[in-house]
Structure formats: structure tokens, C-alpha cells
Amino acid sequence: MNDLNFLEINNNTIEALEKKLSVEEKNILSKCKKTMSKNIHYLKNLGIENIDELFEKYYYMFAIDESKFISIFDKYEKEDLIDKLNKNSSIIEFL
């Protein structure tokens, strides 16, 4: 496919996601690749370890514009946020 192969994400995750996504979804995501790469990089730098899991489940959040994406995480205490996200990826939607 590999519309999403440009991302620093595990190949298995990309394959699993690509099976799930429709053509339209893949099409839009491929146009947001620079933003997605930057957001993945931001979370990795922050110290988030389960990026693959987060990306597979909440790929659409990674396409949020960089400044808005950062503002979602920026309001929390860094250590606490990393700890909670690493333990449970699903809290990302409630941030």
C-alpha cells in the first residue's frame, strides 16, 4: 500500500490499520502525512512508548494540526500524562 508507510510506525500496525481503512480514509490520511509525522514525533519525544497502539486505534487524531494537537497534551503535567498514556492508551480521547 503503502499509503502510510512513510510514518515511523511499525509495519504490522500499518498493515492492520490499512486493512481497516476505506479508500477515502486512506486518501485523506495520505494528504496529512507531514502533520502526522510531526505529531508522532512529538509524542515519541514526549516519552510515549505505545505509539503503535495509539496510532492504530486513534490514527485520526494524529492528523490534527500540529499546534492544536500539542495543545491537547500541553495542558497536563508531563510525567503524569506519559505515565497514564503508557498505561492506558484509551485516555487519549478524554484529554
Partner 1 sequence: MIYTKTQETFKKLFDLKNGNNSKIVKDFQKEIDKIKESLDLLKKKNNDLIKENEETQETLKLISNQYDCLKELIKGKKTSDFDELNKQLAINFDPTSIRHEIDEKFPVKKSELNNKINTCTNDIKNNDEEITSLNSKIDELNLKLSTIIDKQKEISELLEKSINQDLLNFPPRPIIDTLLFLNFSEEEAKIIASNMVFSNPDFVNFYLAEERKRKEEIDRIKQEAKEVIARKSLTEVANDKENEPEEKIVTEVLEEKKDNEDISINNLESMVINVFKDDNESEEGTSDTSIINKLKEKHLDVNKIDNVDDYVKNSKTVFENLEYLQNTFNNGIDIANENLKLLLVDKLAEKIKYLMKELKVSKEEVINYDKLLVEKNAITEIEKLKENGVNVSAISIGCLFATDNFISNLKTLKEHNYNISEEELLKYSILLSSLNNNKLKKYLEDYKVIAKYPQGNIYLNVFEVDEDIVHSNYLSIMQVYPEFIKKYPQFQLKNCEDIATIINTCKINNIPFQDENGSYYSFVFDQEQFKNIYPSVELVKVKKEI
Under the rule (CB under 8 A), what is the footprint of partner 1?
20, 22, 24-25, 27-29, 31-32, 34-35, 38, 57-58, 60-61, 63-68, 72, 75, 77, 80, 90, 93-94
Q: How far is the CB of 24 from partner 1 (least distance, A)?
A: 5
Q: Which is nearer to partner 1, 77 or 87 (CB)?
A: 77
Q: Which is nearer to partner 1, 45 or 77 (CB)?
A: 77
Residue type, 7: L
d(CA 68, CA 39): 10
Q: Which is nearer to partner 1, 70 or 86 (CB)?
A: 70
List, in order, residues 6 or more apart from 63 with CB less than 8 Å away. Answer: 28, 29, 32, 35, 36, 39
Asked whether the beta carbons of 26 and 4 are under 8 A apart, the reply is yes
